[in-house]
Amino acid sequence: MPARSIEQVRNLSKRRGFVFPGSAAYGGLGSFWDYGPLGAELLNNIKRAWWRDVVYRRDDVDGIDAAILMSRKVWQHSGHEATFSDPMVDCRNCRSRFRADHVASELDVARHAYVSSVEEMLHEVPNAIELEGRRLLTNRLLTAIQTNSIDALARIERARQRGDGFISVFGQLAALDPDVLESGRRYAEFIQDHFEVFRQAYFQLGLAVCPNCAARDWTLPRNFNLMFKTHVGPVEATDAEAELSARAYLRPETAQGIFMNFAHVQRSLARKVPFGIAQVGKAFRNEITPGNFIFRTREFEQMEIEFFIKPPQFVREGEKNDAQWHDEWINQRYEWWLGLGVDSARLRQREQAADELAHYSKRTVDLEYLFPEFGWGEVEGIANRTDYDLTAHSRDIPAEDLARLKLEPNTDSVEKFDYFDPDAKARYIPWVIEPSAGATRAMLAFLCEAYHEELTKDPPQPEIEAIKAEIPAVVKNAQKKQKDAEKETDPAQRKHDPAAIEAFCTALEEAASRLPQSLLEIDALLTEHPGAHNLEPVKKLQPKVNKLAEDCARVVLKLHPSLAPIKLAVFPLKKNKPELVDIARRIAQTYQPHFRTVYDDSAGIGRLYRRQDEIGTPWCVTVDFQTLEDNTVTVRERDSMQQQRINLEALRDYFFTRIHV
């Protein structure tokens, strides 16, 4: 089974050097992370696997590496300066800050359900009218309004009726006649258009509850732009005009760097549409609520492709149109994740609803991974961005195209990003399909997927029974400490944190009911859980559990070999036997130039295997006394734990056919 909690992955990451909190010596800096030796390898391997798939394996994609800082005008014309924002609210009681759409998610859910139910019904109109007439439709519409949709809005309305005296828009809402289809459509549009007003009302009327302190006293939601500002060249902080003219943003997506280079790549490589440009690089977003470890961070890495295609009117018979290219990329990207070991039970394609789409998107499908604890989360988005971006950055665009894309004329640009199509003998601005994945978010998904706790053999029953028998005593003692701590009114004087003890007891009892499978979980609870800290019976039980876990269980990262940070570990059976050490070192040196290979003799073989399992090393080689006799070594495979003897001469073939870097 993959990871049951993000905590398991976070602990392993810290313990074994995948991910460390950034600026730790100074208490950290809001959700910035450093990638340690193994994390850097894993991240590089993910990026390399992606690059290999979308650049090397194709004839129609080239890679670039654009600058992180670009002219501010890029972000003005892409729409980011005006619209790349999230709504933010503050709880006046505890001063916590949240993304409004996270706190009041029911409001978004309600809007979403309502708008989609109306859309669905609009599709059914002809049939419905023919078959059962208008009454049926009207009833369904009414039911949708009453059940799905407007629960949250109705609560606002009730609050208004109670005399809270809020906003005249609700008067308009009530005035709409929901009895006919058209009013349903108008209603949906109205909700869309006035959604920010609803959101404001929702908070102002105290309908949203603070997740931190349960108060209902909010500031009004305000839009917060997610781009980090910086300046190019020296600027006096007091000079507002100079600030604006020197202002630059850390890029919030790598895509714009690709659009800026469309013409360079097309001309320098004489590329014909369709072709794509790929890029991997850092992106920065001043997220209001980063979290879930490295899922949402303020600095992260993206892997993006802009795949330029013919606009629909130039597609000839037998050629793929934008919808077909889009589907093809969705499938290819989905397969990439599966090919690297993600189980299809935990990877899904989710169609973005009309009201979720970014301003540039005609259609977007998200690939979502089922993370432990917080559930489905986007790991990649595949959007049909049409000709929006290249048009937005071009001068001399005809008025009808500007109107179609809701763009203003661009008088700053000196380029027109159009392309002469030799087949069509015409110039056009290409459309674009964009598969956009997060490399750091992918790393979390791959780690969660790969993380397994397993028994390597059945632990002796009497020892398991002994552990089970001791757990009630641990819980009883813990509960007593919890009560003592609760009696102490000054939190600073408390020896224990009562909430942490309670959480510890619940988790321990639950895990105990799953022994022996949960042996490693119990070991981790006793060793690392903050509620276990300083409890006497824990100190007694922990070494026993730890010993049994070491003997009979393992944590293993079942990473795809091409992602594994270390591909091969080589050990001598005895570190004080120079003849074994020499051969082991030589084997390691042979492979070091080709893929990450380590030599280790710092513990017994069993422990060395376990250490490598925990970081996902797919193969270990052990040099023993038989090696001296017959030139064979033991090759142990991580997942099956099977060992086979292979001749030193045959090792090269064995690894080169299995390890792809």
Q: How far is the CB of 590 from ligand ATP (least distance, A)?
A: 38
Q: How far is the CB of 43 from ligand ATP (least distance, A)?
A: 12
Burial class of residue 578, CB neighbours in 10 A (0-12, 13-18, 19+): exposed
Residue showing the smallest CB distance to ligand ATP in the complex: 438
**For ligand ATP, the closer CB: 81 or 551:** 81
Q: How far is the CB of 297 from ligand ATP (least distance, A)?
A: 4
Burial class of residue 649, CB neighbours in 10 A (0-12, 13-18, 19+): exposed
**For ligand ATP, the closer CB: 84 or 419:** 84
Q: How far is the CB of 621 from ligand ATP (least distance, A)?
A: 36
Cα–Cα distance, 265 to 62 (Å, whole number): 8
**For ligand ATP, the closer CB: 101 or 497:** 101
Two tokens, residue 441: 């978010």
**For ligand ATP, the closer CB: 389 or 521:** 389
Are 273 and 355 contacting, i.e. CB atoms less than 8 angstroms apart? no
**For ligand ATP, the closer CB: 107 or 581:** 107
Nearest-10 crossing angle of helices 648-658, 578-591: 30
Q: How far is the CB of 226 from ligand ATP (least distance, A)?
A: 9
Q: How far is the CB of 379 from ligand ATP (least distance, A)?
A: 5
Q: How far is the CB of 299 from ligand ATP (least distance, A)?
A: 8
Are 21 and 297 contacting, i.e. CB atoms less than 8 angstroms apart? no
* Number of other residues whose CB lies within 10 A of the CB of residue 319: 13
Two tokens, residue 624: 């023993």
**For ligand ATP, the closer CB: 284 or 595:** 284
**For ligand ATP, the closer CB: 99 or 155:** 99
Q: How far is the CB of 62 from ligand ATP (least distance, A)?
A: 21
**For ligand ATP, the closer CB: 230 or 286:** 286
Full DSSP string of 108-170: HHHHHHHHHHHHHHHHHHHHHHHHHHHHHHHHHHHHHIIIIITHHHHHHHHHIIIII---THH
Q: How far is the CB of 573 from ligand ATP (least distance, A)?
A: 44
Full DSSP string of 288-344: SS-BTTTTB-SEEEEEEEEEEE--GGGPPTTS--HHHHHHHHHHHHHHHHHHTT--G
* Number of other residues whose CB lies within 10 A of the CB of residue 351: 11
Two tokens, residue 214: 């349960």
Cα–Cα distance, 488 to 500 (Å, whole number): 15
Q: How far is the CB of 279 from ligand ATP (least distance, A)?
A: 13
Burial 43-78 (b: 16+ CB within 10 A, else e): bbbbbbbbbebbbeeeeebbbbebebebebebbebb
Residues 6+ apart with CB under 8 A from 292: 6, 371, 373, 374, 377, 444
Q: How far is the CB of 301 from ligand ATP (least distance, A)?
A: 8
Classify 1 as helix, strand or coil. Answer: coil
**For ligand ATP, the closer CB: 86 or 600:** 86
**For ligand ATP, the closer CB: 302 or 597:** 302
Task: Specify the residue for token string 């008067």.
Answer: 171
Burial 203-227 (b: 16+ CB within 10 A, else e): bbbebbebeeeeeeebeebeebbbb
Q: How far is the CB of 140 from ligand ATP (least distance, A)?
A: 32
**For ligand ATP, the closer CB: 360 or 655:** 360
List contacts with ligand ATP (CB under 6 A).
253, 285, 287, 296-297, 300, 302, 378-381, 436-438, 440-441
Of 166, 157, 119, the residue nearest 140 (C-alpha): 119
What number of residues does the chain have? 661
**DSSP 3-state percent helix, strand, coil across the chain (nearest 5):** 50, 20, 30
**For ligand ATP, the closer CB: 160 or 441:** 441
